[in-house]
Amino acid sequence: MHPYRLPAAAKSSVAGKLGSSHSLSALSPKQTALLVVDMQNYFMAPGQQLETPVAREIVPNVNRLAGALRDAGGTIVWIRNRTPEGSSLEWPSYSSRYSPEKWSIRDAAMKPDAFGFEFWPELDMRDGDLEVVKTRFSAFIQGSSDIRAQLAPLGVDTVFVTGVATNICCESTARDAMMLNYHVAMISDGCAAPTDELHAATLTGFHQFFGDVLETDEAVALLHDKAAAA
């Protein structure tokens, strides 16, 4: 896994504004959702175009946090990316950043029923969990998915963000969730990026301006504390 710890300077920056280095100290487990972003074969399986090997290493932490939140009465949301209808014509600002050959591979890999679209088989998905399909980096940007419609009836106001890649779809989803007034924590050892540097830069910046950054142990302990208090 990425060898990441929140830098002291980042903690100090938040503490200077808040009085504490962590903003997410109070939550209701039943109003909390774990968002598992894009842990599908295209990003995780060996040999795939956007394989991120570290993503395979975070699976135990994601499964553990999912189990802890289920036990506490919260919601698990498995999110995956799908090729937009019309592909390059639907999202030209992104498709133009690929060669036609590479975009064709991405396009085919994330169509429904393609191998790349399927969830990584080691994820502990259960009946009663939610599934969301998105067509942009962020699940929350308008038109990308129906995640807000699925979360609203459950009264969710807090989200933990895990998945791949830390600096792309996880960060985009986490930032937009905060902009929509969810309380957000990115789980540092539950996210994976192509490099340690990209992972660290994303989490440090997110912690200072957008939301919290917690390790899996910290998130599980927070859930247990709140469940015990209830």
Can you give the pLDDT at residue 91? 82
Mean pLDDT for 97-124 is: 94
The Cα 169–Cα 210 span in angstroms is 15
Instruction: Share the mean pLDDT of the chain.
Output: 94
Please name which of 131, 194, 135, 183 lies closest in space to residue 161, comparing C-alpha atoms.
Answer: 183
The Cα 31–Cα 22 span in angstroms is 19
> Tokens in use for 75?
């919601």
The Cα 59–Cα 44 span in angstroms is 10
Which phi and psi (to 5°) does residue 49 adopt?
Answer: -60, -40
Domain ranges of the chain: 12-229
Rg (CA), the chain: 17
Paired with 130 in beta bridges are 77
Residue range 128-177, pLDDT digits in tens: 999 999 999 999 999 999 999 999 999 999 999 999 999 999 999 999 99
Mean pLDDT for 172-193 is: 98
Name the CATH code of domain 12-229 (choices 3.40.50.850, 3.40.50.300, 1.20.140.10, 3.40.50.10090). Answer: 3.40.50.850
Pinpoint the alpha helices (H) of the chain.
Answer: 8-18, 41-44, 54-57, 59-71, 92-95, 100-109, 147-151, 171-179, 196-209, 216-229
Can you give the pLDDT at residue 87? 59
| Percent of the chain residues past pLDDT 90, beyond the cut | 88
The pTM score is: 0.95
Residue range 38-92, pLDDT digits in tens: 999 999 999 999 999 999 999 999 999 999 999 999 999 999 999 877 655 678 8
